[in-house]
Structure 1
């Protein structure tokens, strides 16, 4: 399981979006990124479709996942 609390691009507030991990400053769940990637979209498309999320946030999330997988 990934420890999202150490990723600066995301935040969690139990009062927002049922406490899901969100891209900081948005109401967009991090899980939406992975769902879209699984469906064949890319990072650039994702930030077009989800205003408020930056390409830097997407890259930070993907790098965080890669580091977490390497440490496992």
Structure 2
């Protein structure tokens, strides 16, 4: 499992979405990103569906996941 605590684009607080990992400054769970990508949604479409989420945030999360997925295995 990836340790998201070092990713500034992600946060988790008990008072927001029951402590789920979310895009920083939002209530959008990062799991929504991965679920939508699996369903074939593009990054642009994702940011249109989830207004307020910036493409830079999405790319930062994907980059962090890519760099840390091998070390988490």
TM exceeding 0.5: yes
Deviation of residue 70 (structure 1)? 3.5
Q: Tell me what 2:30 maps to.
A: 30
2:39 matched to 1:42?
A: no
2:2 and 2:67 mapped to 1: Cα distance?
10
Higher relative contact order (CA 8 A, sep 6+): 2
TM-score w.r.t. the length of structure 2 is 0.93
TM-score w.r.t. the length of structure 1 is 0.94
**Which ranges of structure 2 fall in alignment gaps of 5 or more residues?**
none
**Which ranges of structure 1 fall in alignment gaps of 5 or more residues?**
none
2:3 and 2:69 mapped to 1: Cα distance?
11
Deviation of residue 32 (structure 1)? 0.2
Pairwise CA RMSD of aligned residues? Answer: 0.9
2:13 and 2:40 mapped to 1: Cα distance?
29
Runs of 4+ in structure 1 deviating by more than 6 angstroms, as ranges, are none
Deviation of residue 10 (structure 1)? 0.9
Q: Tell me what 1:11 maps to.
A: 11
Cα deviation, 1:10-31, whole Å, max 9, x if unaligned, reads 1110111010011011100000
